[in-house]
Structure 1
Amino acid sequence: MKVENITYGISLMVLLTGCATTTIGPIAAGKNTYVMSREEGAFPSGSEPLMAEVLTEAGIFCSSQGEKIKLINSTENSGPYILGNYPKATITFSCIDIMVTR
């Protein structure tokens, strides 16, 4: 009986992990160019501001280097929620010196 409980517990944890919103990146995509995306899990509510969240995370990444984000490209996929086609926001960006932008 205890083995079954452990098996059910592990299965439940795996299923719930698939429901979470995840961020991928930043991934290097060239000289000082990065790609980052944020995707909803298996049961999206449709109300998450994925683009704003991924831009914020990219800004934090650049700030940690003493730089500022420069957006190169962005795409959003709002669904439909079938066959793993969950809402997703993807950006391509670079980090530039703060003094250059003034």
Structure 2
Amino acid sequence: MLKKRITIISFGLAMLAACASDTGVVPVGQEQFIIEKQQATGFPGLGNLRAEVYVEANEFCAMQGGSLETVRFEQTDPPYILGNYPRVSLTFSCN
């Protein structure tokens, strides 16, 4: 029974560690927006974070009737330890 509980808790913690935080689309000025995503740990690396922010930005611009124009893209560099977790930031506008 204890072994089963440990397995379930370990699986739950692993699932939480794989999750990324996401700001969603945030207005930051004159018709400019930003999306930031960060992994919960350094283990997954950047993974698909770059693709995820571009997909979200493209969907947002399509709903606004425009197309995505990248203003700035930034990402963290390894090593991903001591709080330097994989993170990307996309500043964009919709034209």
Q: CA RMSD in A?
A: 2.4
Greater relative CO, 1 or 2 (CA 8 Å, sep 6+): 2
Q: Secondary structure at the match of 2:67?
A: strand
- Percent identical pairs in the alignment equals 29
- 1:34-61 deviations in whole A, cap 9, x for unaligned? 1111211125322612112111111111
Gaps of 5+ in 2: 1-8
Seen in structure 2, the aligned counterparts of structure 1 residues 73 and 43 have a Cα distance that, compared at 3 Å, is closer
Gaps of 5+ in 1: 1-8, 97-102
Q: Rg bigger for which structure?
A: 1
Q: Secondary structure at the match of 1:75?
A: strand
Note if contact 1:19-1:43 (Cα within 8 Å) is conserved in structure 2.
Answer: no
Determine if the alignment matches structure 1 residue 35 to structure 2 residue 34.
yes
- Counting matched residue pairs gives 88
Structure 1 runs of 4+ with >6 Å offset: 12-15
Scaled by the length of structure 1, the TM-score of the pair is: 0.69
